[in-house]
Structure 1
C-alpha cells in the first residue's frame, strides 16, 4: 500500500517511537493524526510538520476519551479527503512490579489495570473505533487493499524479565491477536501485523538506571546498541508498503534474547 495521500492514525505519536513513525510517514507524503495525552508536545509536533498533521488529545486508558478523539478525527478526514491507510496504536507504558513483593503483599490491582488498560484495552479500543472508517474506503489495486493495522508488541512477549508480568501479558496479547485480527479483517482487504521491539531508546527506557542499561548492552548480539526511532519507523513503513506482510509479529531486536537475570 502506498503512503502518499493516506492518513495514518498514531497513538503515542507525540514522543518516542510513535513520534519517529509520525515524522517518517509525514516525510513520505502521508497525513498524520497524532493521538497523545501530552498536548504541549503534540502541538509542537504539528507546528513543526504543518497542515498535513493534526493533534488530538486523548487518554487511551479512558474509552470516552478514545471515542471523542476518533469522532474529532472524522471531520478532518473529510476535510482533507485522505482516507485512513493505517492505524498504529503505539501508546504504551511499563510500570514494573512482581505479583507479590518482598513483604508477601500482592501488587495493587490498580497497577495491573493501569498497564493493561493502556497497552491492551486502549489498543483494541482505538482499532475497533477506526475500523468502520477504513472498511468504507475505496480499495486499491491490484489486491483490493484498504489498509493495515500495525500494532506494537515487545520482546517481553517472548522472554519477559522479572517484574514484567503485566507488561508481558499485555504485549503477549498483542502478539497473540495479530493473526486473529488478520483473519477477521481479510474480507475487508485490511491487514494486521505487529512489531516486537527489544530495548529501544524511548521515554520508557529513559527511566532505567545506567546500571540496568549497561547490563542490557551485554546481552546484545548485533548491532550492539539500543534500537533507535528510525529503526522502528522503518519497520512500520515496510509493514505498510509490503502487502504480503500479514498476520505476523516481527521481532525487531538484533537477535537479542533476554536472560532471566541481568
Structure 2
C-alpha cells in the first residue's frame, strides 16, 4: 500500500492513543478522519494539520451517528482504507463493594461503548471498504485495527466490566478476520498495557511512578507514538491478520 491519499478513520482520535495514531498517519503522508465526541479537541487537531485531517462528531454506540460519520469521511476524502478503534471508557467498580452491588446499567454502559461500539464502527467501516478497488496484488481493500487491553487477560479488581469488554474485542479478532477475508479486509487488535495518556497523567506523578515500577522493561509507561507505530506496522504488513498483539513492556497485571 501507499500512504499518499490513504484514509484512516480513528475513533477517539482527539486525544490519547487515538491522537497518536492521527499524528502518525499524517506524518506518513496519509489522511485521517477523527470520530470523537469531544468536538473542541478534535477541532484543535484539525487546525494543526489542515486539510489532511477532518472530524465527525460521533457516538460509537449509535448506528445513525456512525453512518453519518462514515458518509462525512467519504464525502471529504472519497474512501476509507483503514479503521482504528481507540474510543473506550474504563470506570472502575467492583461487583460488590462498600456501596453495594454494581448496578447492571454500569456494566452495560462499558460493554456498550467498548465492545458494541467497536463492533458497530467496524461493521459499517467494513461495508464501505468492500467498495474499494483492491490496492495490492492480493486484493486487499482495507484494514481494521481494534484496541483491546492487557486487562482482557489479567483484569484487576474493579475491572470486571472493562475486562469483559476488552476480552470481547480479543474474541472478535479471528472470526472478524475470517468473516471479511473474502472481501480483502484484514482485522487485527492491539492489547496495550500502561500508557502515558491524559487519563494516566491525571493520576499524578507519584502514582505514575509506582505504575512504572510494575513494568518489566523499559521501566516507564508506553507512549502514544509507540502504539501508533504498531498501528502503522499492522496497516503496512499485509500478512498480519487475525492477530492480537500485546504492547506492554512485558507487564503482567497483579490483582490490584
Residue number in structure 1 paired with 2:214:
219
Residue number in structure 2 paired with 1:88:
84
Gap regions ≥5 residues in structure 2: none
Contact 2:213/2:220, CA 8 A, preserved across alignment: no
* Aligned-pair CA distance for 1:99: 1.2
TM-score, normalised with respect to structure 1: 0.93
Deviations 1:22-44 (A, max 9, x none): 01101111111111111111111
> Is the counterpart of residue 124 in structure 1 residue 106 in structure 2?
no
Deviations 1:108-151 (A, max 9, x none): 22221221111111111111111121011111232211111001
Residue number in structure 1 paired with 2:41:
41
User: Aligned-residue CA RMSD in angstroms?
Assistant: 1.5
Structure 1 residue matching 2:246: 3-state secondary structure: strand
Residue number in structure 2 paired with 1:231:
226
In structure 2, distance between residues paired with 1:97 and 1:210: 23
In structure 2, distance between residues paired with 1:28 and 1:91: 22
TM-score, normalised with respect to structure 2: 0.95
Mean alpha-carbon deviation: is it higher for 9-18 or for 215-224? 215-224
Aligned residues: 256
In structure 1, distance between residues paired with 2:219 and 2:207: 15
In structure 2, distance between residues paired with 1:77 and 1:133: 13
Runs of at least 4 residues off by over 6 Å: none
Structure 2 residue matching 1:159: 3-state secondary structure: coil
In structure 2, distance between residues paired with 1:20 and 1:213: 20
In structure 2, distance between residues paired with 1:36 and 1:189: 27
Residue number in structure 2 paired with 1:102:
98
Mean alpha-carbon deviation: is it higher for 215-224 or for 43-52? 215-224
Contact 2:134/2:140, CA 8 A, preserved across alignment: yes
Residue number in structure 1 paired with 2:65:
65
* Aligned-pair CA distance for 1:209: 5.2
